[in-house]
């Protein structure tokens, strides 16, 4: 397969290349794509060097699939051009997620919605992906009424500038800032821009995307998203109210059987998921599984995943794998 990676020089783009290699995706020709200023740079993939090209040049090379991770502006401008040329696009930005004509896909949750007609497929927000993988089997069994989620998100979700800010602050150096406040030894309850309703855009993404992916607008979701001085993955405290009561042993079994989930839940031996444990992994880790004793039919979970892997690169590659398996590309 001829595979284009748009945004190949960025954090997520680099991770996509790593994931493609690790999962042995059948890349016969790689087309690394970036902006004009990166044109001609060399990218190494599986021991071979490839020159970075511009989006227009990539379209002319006619890849079978293009994995986009270059921001919403680039996706809005170029994804339709790739699609018009017959190239299937998997887009990691927020540009197409809530477009009613585009599918928003997490393969373990709603992969069945993909069809031959889908030329632009949206990859969900990182914090949404890890949550819905866990919610899916529980919703199928007990029917979810409401989800309350608080996130603890890695600086890697913002990008290289944020990682540099954290490292500079830790070293006591001045440098370029990604955040309006110090992030080292601090917590910032603000991800993306504030909306008129007092929520941030990140919080509204989690609310709206969950309903779209789960295919159920009756699930009520409220979110508080928080940036913390951590690298390796995002963490979430998730409180789930069901219509039907549940058995904790069965909950653990359902989660253990869910594709892409690893249960790490042994409080007696201090075993629970942490970002450093999720780093470099494709699976979603879940633990601290317990009843909410303040309300009937309600469950508490702690969910952790590598936001650059399952939260972005891996999910995009898994969508491409599913398209290939279903012979849609």
Q: Is 11 annotated as a binding residue?
A: yes
Q: Is 12 annotated as a binding residue?
A: yes
Q: For residues 70 and 33, what is the distance between their CA atoms, to the nearest angstrom?
A: 9
Angle at CA 226, nearest 5°, toward 68 and 213?
45
- Mapped onto helix, strand or coil, the DSSP state of residue 83 is helix
CA distances from 173 to 169, 170, 218 (A): 6, 8, 49
Q: Is 14 annotated as a binding residue?
A: no
Q: For residues 6 and 3, what is the distance between their CA atoms, to the nearest angstrom?
A: 10
- Measured in residues, the chain has a length of 329
Q: For residues 67 and 286, what is the distance between their CA atoms, to the nearest angstrom?
A: 28
Q: Is 227 annotated as a binding residue?
A: yes
Angle at CA 111, nearest 5°, toward 101 and 201?
55
Angle at CA 100, nearest 5°, toward 95 and 104?
60
According to DSSP, residue 312 is labeled: I
Task: Name the nearest CA neighbour of 189 among 176, 178, 199.
Answer: 199
Q: Is 290 annotated as a binding residue?
A: no
Q: For residues 264 and 284, what is the distance between their CA atoms, to the nearest angstrom?
A: 10
Q: Is 291 annotated as a binding residue?
A: no
Q: Is 9 annotated as a binding residue?
A: yes
Annotation marks residue 139 as catalytic: no
Q: Is 38 annotated as a binding residue?
A: yes
Angle at CA 38, nearest 5°, toward 33 and 43?
60
Q: For residues 101 and 117, what is the distance between their CA atoms, to the nearest angstrom?
A: 11
Catalytic residue among 126, 139, 190, 279: 126
Return the active site residues.
126, 234
Please enumerate, by residue number, every residue annotated as part of a binding site: 9-12, 37-38, 97, 153, 227, 307
């Amino acid at each position: 397969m001829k595979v284009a990676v748009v945004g190949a020089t960025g954090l997520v783009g680099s991770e996509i290349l790593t994931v493609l290699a690790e999962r042995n995706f059948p890349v016969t020709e790689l087309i690394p794509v970036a902006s004009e200023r990166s044109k001609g740079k060399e990218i190494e993939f599986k021991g071979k060097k490839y020159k970075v090209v511009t989006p227009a040049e990539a379209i002319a090379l006619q890849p079978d699939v293009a994995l986009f991770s270059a921001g919403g502006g680039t996706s809005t401008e170029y994804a339709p051009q790739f699609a018009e040329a017959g190239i299937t696009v998997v887009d990691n930005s927020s540009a197409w997620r809530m477009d009613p004509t585009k599918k928003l896909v997490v393969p373990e949750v709603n992969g069945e919605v993909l069809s031959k007609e889908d030329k632009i497929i949206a990859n969900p927000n990182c914090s949404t992906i890890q949550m819905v993988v866990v919610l899916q089997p529980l919703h199928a069994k007990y029917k979810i009424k409401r989800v309350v989620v608080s996130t603890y998100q890695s600086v890697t979700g913002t990008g290289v500038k944020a990682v540099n800010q954290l490292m500079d602050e830790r070293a006591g150096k001045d440098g370029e800032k990604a955040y309006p406040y110090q992030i080292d030894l601090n917590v910032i309850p603000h991800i993306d821009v504030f909306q008129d309703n007092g929520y941030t855009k990140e919080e509204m993404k989690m609310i709206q995307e969950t309903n779209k992916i789960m295919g159920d607008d009756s699930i009520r979701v409220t979110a508080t998203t928080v940036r913390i001085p951590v690298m390796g993955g995002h963490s979430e405290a998730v409180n789930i109210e069901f219509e039907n009561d549940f058995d904790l042993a069965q909950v653990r079994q359902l989660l253990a059987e869910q594709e892409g989930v690893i249960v790490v839940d042994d409080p007696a031996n201090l075993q629970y998921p942490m970002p450093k444990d999720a780093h470099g992994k494709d699976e979603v880790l879940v633990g601290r599984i317990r009843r909410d004793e303040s309300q009937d039919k309600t469950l508490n979970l702690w969910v952790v995943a590598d936001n650059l892997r399952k939260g972005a690169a891996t999910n995009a590659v898994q969508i491409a794998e599913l398209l290939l398996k279903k012979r849609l590309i």
